[in-house]
Structure formats: C-alpha cells, structure tokens
C-alpha cells in the first residue's frame, strides 16, 4: 500500500510511525509511506498556506491552491483522498479494515480554522474524524489512521492471529485482562484459572471478564 500525507508538519506524523511495528512495515516494503510539506506547493516568498476567511470570523482558513497542486502531483487513478476533520465520519476498526483494502491513500491535514471548502468538494473522496474532540490540526489524526490501517496489512503483525483476536474483532465485546510473570507480584496473584492449562475454562473466563469490562467502560458497545 502507498500512503501520502499532506501537512505543514511532516515530522509530527512521521516520527511516531518510524518506531516498532509500523517502522518495520516501512522497512520491509509492506507500506510506502511519505509525508509531504504542503508549503512545497506554494509559489510566494512567504510560502503562505492560509488567508482570512470570507464572511469574517476568527482565525485563518487554508488556501485551496497548494492542496490542489499537491493532490494533482501525487494522485494515481486508484488513489482515495481523505480529509481529517472533526466534521468527518467517525473512524473505527471497521473503517480501518475497509481502508486496509485500498492500494493508495492520500491524507489531507488541515490546520487553523479549516480548509477552503472547494478542496472538499473537488478533491476529497471522504472526510474522517478520529473522535469527538478538537485537535489543533489534522496531522496527529492522520498518524492514528495510518497506524490502525498499516497494522492490518498482510505480514505486518508477526503473529497473524493478534490482528483478529483483539477488542473489536468480536463486535460489542472488549478483550479480557492479560497477565505475565511473575505469578505473584507485591501480593497480587495471577488468577488461578490462567495457570490451570484448561483452555476451555480460560476462554470462558476471558470472555466473562471482557463482558464485565464492556458493561463498566463501554456500555454503548452492547446491543
């Protein structure tokens, strides 16, 4: 998969994606990830990407021209162009799975008050939001989406099962708790059932604890 990110802060989205699993996915060529500086598509001395809003109001609006030139330079016939915005459809695990089947994503990151709407109308295939809170810009949101999508690509996770078995794979039920050694730590014991070697009982216990957690933390997930 190829992913191009267009932002005024390329380093902010690249840094967290260089480590660990996603870093390795890049090194092994499972994903070709690039972040581009939007200012590279300006032509004035100040490399200006924003301007005053028509109709007045606070803050600045991102100019359309650099986004148009950037997308025209980077897009391929298969490219899906996505804008990160609090006004977008909510991104979740099902959306991550859907996007992991694409061959080329172009992620547009806004800053300031927002982006000239002609970009949305003429260039953008879909608007996505990573959650109901307001960030200062779209760059961290783009990094979140890349992380969630790339880990689903074939060969990216060492243990292929772990992409499947986790929370949200079974819709409406969160994962149960995990433990590792030591079996007793500061007086806190690992539940006996996990040491029993009885796989059916372990599975039933995990499911029960997952349901408990769902009821407590995410009642909205239950039917």
Report the interface residues with ligand 6SD, using CB under 6 A. Answer: 84-86, 110-112, 114, 129-131, 133-135, 137-138, 141
Q: Is the Cβ of residue 65 or residue 175 nearer to ligand 6SD in the bound state?
A: 65
What span, in angstroms and rounded, lies between the C-alpha atoms of 150 and 33?
10
Q: Is the Cβ of residue 134 or residue 200 nearer to ligand 6SD in the bound state?
A: 134
Minimum CB separation from ligand 6SD for residue 6, in Å? 12
Whether 72 contacts 109, CB under 8 Å? no
Taking each helix axis as running N to C, give the angle between helix 20-27 and helix 139-150, from 0 to 180 degrees, rounded to the nearest 10.
70
Minimum CB separation from ligand 6SD for residue 210, in Å? 27
Q: Is the Cβ of residue 136 or residue 180 nearer to ligand 6SD in the bound state?
A: 136
Minimum CB separation from ligand 6SD for residue 83, in Å? 8
Minimum CB separation from ligand 6SD for residue 103, in Å? 25
How distant, in Å, are the alpha carbons of 46, 140, 201 from that of 49? 9, 19, 59
3-class SS at 110? coil
Burial class (CB in 10 A: 0-12, 13-18, 19+), 102: middle
Q: Is the Cβ of residue 74 or residue 116 nearer to ligand 6SD in the bound state?
A: 116
Q: Is the Cβ of residue 53 or residue 210 nearer to ligand 6SD in the bound state?
A: 53
How distant, in Å, are the alpha carbons of 42, 81, 127, 216 from that of 122? 19, 10, 13, 44
Whether 6 contacts 124, CB under 8 Å? no
* Closest listed residue to residue 208, CA positions, set 220, 189, 194: 194
Minimum CB separation from ligand 6SD for residue 84, in Å? 5
Minimum CB separation from ligand 6SD for residue 4, in Å? 17
Helix, strand, coil percent content, the chain, rounded in steps of 5? 40, 20, 40
Q: Is the Cβ of residue 60 or residue 194 nearer to ligand 6SD in the bound state?
A: 60
């Amino acid at each position: 998969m190829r992913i191009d990110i267009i932002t005024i802060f390329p380093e902010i989205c690249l840094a967290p994606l260089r480590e660990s699993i996603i870093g390795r996915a890049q090194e092994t060529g499972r994903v070709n990830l690039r972040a581009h500086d939007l200012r590279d598509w300006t032509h004035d001395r100040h490399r200006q990407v924003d301007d005053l809003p028509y109709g007045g109001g606070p803050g600045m609006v991102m100019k359309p021209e650099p986004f148009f030139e950037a997308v025209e330079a980077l897009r391929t016939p298969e490219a899906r162009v996505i804008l990160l915005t609090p006004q977008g459809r909510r991104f979740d695990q099902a959306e991550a799975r859907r996007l992991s089947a694409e061959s080329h994503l172009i992620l547009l990151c806004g800053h300031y008050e927002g982006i000239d709407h002609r970009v949305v109308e003429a260039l953008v295939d879909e608007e996505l939001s990573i959650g109901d809170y307001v960030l200062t810009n779209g760059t961290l949101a783009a990094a979140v989406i890349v992380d969630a999508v790339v880990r689903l690509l074939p060969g990216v996770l060492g243990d292929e099962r772990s992409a499947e078995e986790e929370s949200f794979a079974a819709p409406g039920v969160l994962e149960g708790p995990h433990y590792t050694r030591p079996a007793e730590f500061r007086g806190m014991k690992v539940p006996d059932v996990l040491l029993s070697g009885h796989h059916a009982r372990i599975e039933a216990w995990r499911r029960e604890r997952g349901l408990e957690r769902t009821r407590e933390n995410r009642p909205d997930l239950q039917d």
